[in-house]
Amino acid sequence: MFAAAVLFAFALVVALVARWLKARRLRLPPGPPPDPFIGNLRQMAFTNQEQMFESWGKTYVWAGTRFSATCPTASVPEHRRLIQDHFNQQAILAYRPLQRLETCTLLLGLLQKPEAFIRHVRRFSAGTIMKITYGHTVKSMDELYVRLAEDAAHETVSAGSPGSMLVDFFPALKFLPAWMPGAGFKRHALKTRVKVRRMLDIPFKMVQRTMAAGTAIPSFVSDLIIANESDSKHKQYEEEDIKGAAGVLYGAATDTTSALLISFFLAMTLHPDVLRKAQAEIEEKVGPDRLPDFEDRDSLPYVDSIVKEVYRAMTRSEDMYTDPHTFYPERFMNQDSQTAEMTDPKNVVFGFGRRLCPGKFFGDANIWLVVASVLAAFDITKRRNDRGEEIPPLVDYASGFVSNEAAQVPKLDVSNEGLASMKYDAMGPLVVNSDGTVSRITNWPNMTELERERTMKVLIARNKLRLAKQDADDPSSTPLSMAGSAGEASK
């Protein structure tokens, strides 16, 4: 025990001195005054860090840069390069059929079980990225590949936000043996490593297996494996890099997308006037017979302003936006092009420079399509209690990796506290036609309750079958020829 204590004390002193020497060399923008040796450790909040950063942002300003505090992060350039090739503005056009299909599945889920909307949204986020990454269709959040990815992500996130542990400040502490008191972070890291390993290996092997059997749906991973096999002497990519880039994609794409979409539902529950205005715009510009599509984006400026405002709600900069705590899409309407560019929250929420989100265009297209489609198909209202009174939604944001880094994850208890109850509008439920297009039942308003109930049963079953059939039969309707390919597959 004595030897362990001496070892610990020695590691701490080495870490402190190394850190102090490094801090002296760095010239950083202003921040809260650091203490000798331990830097900003004392001032760091370990939960709800976004509130701390917001307050620092008001106090420490320098040449347009906000406060600085020392906390290292890491990024693997090889992964980034692979991802960028598959998610640039040209390449993502090939994913549009998949995005439409997944959006349609989301709408059907909402029709069937509106109270489970968080689950539908999470399945959508997982479904789009799993299909692109591994060619795998996600039917439920309980299946193997999703569980593996969710477990690994959960384990990673539960380690705490960046900068919430001593080892974030003193990296030398990672050399402590796992059994030592105070090295709980290391035991957690070892457990996480096992989960991450499984999440990287198991779906990769599935792609190898299906490729060998000739049944693989082309994907990010299969493209890279093929690229490697095309030159037997010189491998273009290390297998570990392919696995790593694929693994990063799930974690980076799912929580961010889900958090933004859930925030959208919350905003619509709280702001029925905004919802109505957007629905009127869709009704006028798109009409009642089809869902909005990517090409409609420019003609739906108010819907686009809602999307921007959902992003903007993640940034609370008082310098950039008046009254930043108010949800107000109108702030983005009728701007000249220069102001529009300067105030576009996409320039902020997807990160900057070397760390710019490589999924920016794909992620934004996903958010837009779901927002526009949900607005076209549903009313979103507050739930009512037995006396018919509206129940105010529970607004509570969990602290964690995503809420600090990219988006905020609402903790919304729909079933008990009541958030949104969605009902059909007069337009009637969606019908998936055999050619993959979507329409509505024209005589829905004239049907009796019983007729509607029966129609729904048949419709839901048939829609599901048609979606599954399209998915299985028509590989060209999924993001197939991905390596360097552009152009949109058939609608």
Point out which residues bind ligand HEM (CB under 6 A).
73, 75, 80, 83, 87, 248-249, 252-253, 256-257, 260, 349-351, 355, 357-359, 362-363, 367, 405-407
Pick between residue 125 and residue 279 the one whose CB is nearest to ligand HEM. 125
DSSP 478: S
Which position's Cβ is nearest ligand HEM? Answer: 359
**CB of residue 442 vs ligand HEM: minimum separation in angstroms?**
35
Neighbouring-strand partners of residue 397: 410
**CB of residue 371 vs ligand HEM: minimum separation in angstroms?**
12
E strand intervals along 40-130? 61-62, 65-66
Nearest 5°: the CA angle 235, 82, 191 is 90
Pick between residue 176 and residue 482 the one whose CB is nearest to ligand HEM. 482
Nearest in space to 479 (alpha carbons), one of 204, 133, 242: 133
- Rounded Cα–Cα distance for residues 387 and 483 (Å): 58
The three-state secondary structure class of 355 is: helix
Please name the residues in contact with 196: beta carbons below 8 A apart, sequence gap of 6 or more.
152, 155, 156, 247
**CB of residue 260 vs ligand HEM: minimum separation in angstroms?**
6
**CB of residue 365 vs ligand HEM: minimum separation in angstroms?**
9
**CB of residue 165 vs ligand HEM: minimum separation in angstroms?**
17
Contact 38, 62 (CB under 8 A): no
- Rounded Cα–Cα distance for residues 391 and 358 (Å): 40
Contact 274, 313 (CB under 8 A): no
DSSP 373-426: HHHHHEEEEE-B-TTSPBPPPP--EEPSHHHHHT--EE---TTTT--EEEEE-T
Pick between residue 349 and residue 375 the one whose CB is nearest to ligand HEM. 349
Q: Rg of the chain over CA atoms, in angstroms?
A: 25
Task: Determine whether 324 is exposed, middle or buried from the number of CB atoms within 10 Å of its CB (0-12, 13-18, 19+).
Answer: middle
Q: How many CB atoms lie within 10 A of CB 1?
A: 6
Pick between residue 52 and residue 252 the one whose CB is nearest to ligand HEM. 252
Query: Binding residue per annotation — 71?
Result: no
Pick between residue 256 and residue 470 the one whose CB is nearest to ligand HEM. 256
- Rounded Cα–Cα distance for residues 167 and 72 (Å): 10
Pick between residue 160 and residue 428 the one whose CB is nearest to ligand HEM. 160
**CB of residue 462 vs ligand HEM: minimum separation in angstroms?**
31
**CB of residue 172 vs ligand HEM: minimum separation in angstroms?**
23
**CB of residue 315 vs ligand HEM: minimum separation in angstroms?**
11
Please name the residues in contact with 43: beta carbons below 8 A apart, sequence gap of 6 or more.
32, 52, 69
Q: How many CB atoms lie within 10 A of CB 58?
A: 13
- Rounded Cα–Cα distance for residues 397 and 408 (Å): 6
Pick between residue 105 and residue 256 the one whose CB is nearest to ligand HEM. 256
Pick between residue 362 and residue 378 the one whose CB is nearest to ligand HEM. 362
**CB of residue 255 vs ligand HEM: minimum separation in angstroms?**
9
Pick between residue 244 and residue 301 the one whose CB is nearest to ligand HEM. 244
Helices and strands counted in the chain (H then E): 17, 8
Residues annotated as binding site for heme?
357
